[in-house]
Amino acid sequence: MKLRSLAKSRHMGDIGGDYRHGVDEESPRSKNIHKVSITPLVFLIFYEVSGGPFGIEDSVQAAGPLLAILGFLIFPFIWSVPEALITAELGTMFPENGGYVVWVSTALGPFWGFQQGWMKWLSGVIDNALYPVLFLDYLKSGVPALGGGFTRALAVLVVTVGLTYMNYRGLTIVGWAAVFLGIFSILPFIIMGFIAVPQLEFSRWLVSDVGSVDWGLYLNTLFWNLNYWDSISTLAGEVHNPKRTLPKALFYAFILVVFGYLYPLLTGTGAIPLKRELWTDGYFSDIAKILGGVWLRWWLQVAAALSNMGMFVAEMSSDSYQLLGMAERGMLPEFFGKRSRYGTPLVGILFSASGVVLLSWMSFQEIVAAENFLYCFGMILEFIAFVRLRVKYPYANRPYMIPLGTFGSIIMLIPPTILICVVLAFASFKVMVVSLVAILIGFILHPSLNYIEKQQWLIFSLSSDLPDFRVAEQEEDIVSLTS
């Protein structure tokens, strides 16, 4: 890495990459790092977004079977598809670590790029603090000691340390572990579905009581289970041929995610009489026992535990590589860009793991609401950056481009933007205050880091391996005018 002056290093918002002619260029620092292929990438996306139906039970408690099923059938096309399409376009336009931070920095400048990085990283860490909670919730019915107290706290710490070490060992290991965990976690639901066929009553799927819907819990559950499609962009620099691989992986992962939600939901609500108050975290394991016996219940509980492990390592990979990408852009001190001997972002992993441990005391509902609130602000910046890049750099090479034109893409973003406003409106006062304080901290952090750099208390640098996006745009513009 090359040390730059304050003026140069702080203009990272104008820097991007020379991504012309569809060439997948590798920098000298990354040639010896094993790249992630399409199969592990699909399951990494699957775990960053979903990880299976563990945690969707609250949607039935909040709104009943009909609205829960419709939610997981319709919501993906309102939210997931637009987010995945934007990730495919901008992720292939900027195939480097940092992802959405680079998009916003290039479109809106370094200040907002940093705010995007802070909000999305904090949202990701809050989200990751949820998985030890879910992990223990699924096991506590079989091991009551995990329900609380010192044993539960110790279990959270042990799980966090073990999975953090897996991230430290390398993204390739994490990717193939995600493949194994994904297959193992989906299998018991497929078996449960076959067992449930003779007991299915289609009329149970139509039960609805709009007057008793808990809209806040319903929307937060849907939103949490179907977002984070953009998380994979923060480690695009570690993907083999991301310009071709990333769009395909997003498409396959979308099919896997939607199937992974609807199939168990149809099985669980159609095979047993409805008791809405029972539909909460871990209830699928009880359904498995009713339909298949204790053996299926234990298999599903183990699958749930392993699935949460998969979500944890996938999210931590995204969060830690985001910090590495921000360091390469001069947005964080240089030591955040330090890689371990396995090529993994050492400091980023340690920071992300520390945040998980500090936040793991929060309840499931508080975690979901807080991370959704921060995530919404980050997505607003992403939408604005997407439109701004279409207008500012119309001739830049986009290996994948949403086939709707700029106006059509803006129309596509209207429903998810409305949804963001609705989710924010349903946030509790406590969550709103905590989230706004977190955002305010980001506003203070950026000028503070500027001051630290100016005083040379820490080294900030811009990676010399990152080409100038402006040069690429100018050359593309010249080609378009002369052709």
Tell me: the pLDDT tens digits for 360-414? 665 656 666 677 788 888 999 999 999 999 999 988 888 999 999 999 999 999 9
Query: Which range, of 110-114, 147-151, 414-418, averages the lowest pLDDT?
Result: 147-151
Residue ranges per domain, the chain? 2-482
Query: Which range, of 5-19, 89-103, 169-183, averages the lowest pLDDT?
Result: 5-19
Tell me: the pLDDT tens digits for 415-445? 999 988 888 887 778 788 888 888 999 999 9
Q: How far apart are CA 442 and CA 104, in angstroms?
A: 15
Tokens of 322: 């985001």
Average pLDDT, rounded, for the chain: 84
Query: Within 13 Å, how many C-alpha atoms sit on residue 167's CB side?
Result: 31
Q: How far apart are CA 460 and CA 11, in angstroms?
A: 12
Instruction: Specify the pLDDT at position 19.
Output: 38
Q: Is 60 exceeded by the pLDDT of residue 471?
A: no
Instruction: Specify the pLDDT at position 197.
Output: 93
**Secondary structure string (H, E, C) spanning 297-357:** HHHHHHHHHHHHHHHHHHHHHHHHHHHHHHHHCCCCCHHHHCECCCCCEHHHHHHHHHHHH
Q: Is 90 exceeded by the pLDDT of residue 84?
A: yes
Q: Is 50 exceeded by the pLDDT of residue 231?
A: yes
Tell me: the pLDDT tens digits for 289-344? 999 999 999 899 888 888 888 888 898 999 999 999 999 989 999 999 889 888 88
Q: Do residues 21 and 397 lie in contact, with contact meaning Cβ atoms separated by under 8 Å?
A: yes
Task: Scan for tokens 């852009």, then name that residue.
Answer: 329
Residue count of the chain, please give it. 483
Instruction: Specify the pLDDT at position 361.
Output: 60
SS3 71: helix
CA distances from 302 to 32, 140, 235, 283, 317 (A): 36, 12, 29, 14, 23
Q: How far apart are CA 156 and CA 314, in angstroms?
A: 17
Q: Is 50 exceeded by the pLDDT of residue 195?
A: yes
Instruction: Specify the pLDDT at position 132.
Output: 74
User: How would CATH label the architecture of 2-482?
Assistant: Up-down Bundle (1.20)
